[in-house]
Amino acid sequence: MPRDITPEQRRVFDALAHLIKVRDGRPPSYQQIADSVGLAKSTVRHHVARLAAAGWVELPPLGEARGLRVLARRSS
């Protein structure tokens, strides 16, 4: 079971999940996530790394672009 995350990490996770859904399953870029939540791309990268450590997302293999995967289910 995924560990708890901060509210800002949750915003990033929700934006990632939404963007994947509206893009027919294709993961967005870090910049697209950043634009969606109004944060800097470096901040989004940090939050995504924390989400991966907490078990909410899976990072792509090194060198693969746009390979983020959502692992945890969104609960409203």
- The pLDDT assigned to 61 comes to 84
For the record, the structure tokens of 32 come out as 């697209």
Residue 24 has pLDDT above 80, yes or no: yes
Average pLDDT, the chain: 90
Average pLDDT over residues 2-30: 93
SS3 58: strand
7-70 carries CATH number 3.40.640.10? no
* DSSP SS3 for 69: strand
Q: What is the reported pLDDT for 76?
A: 42
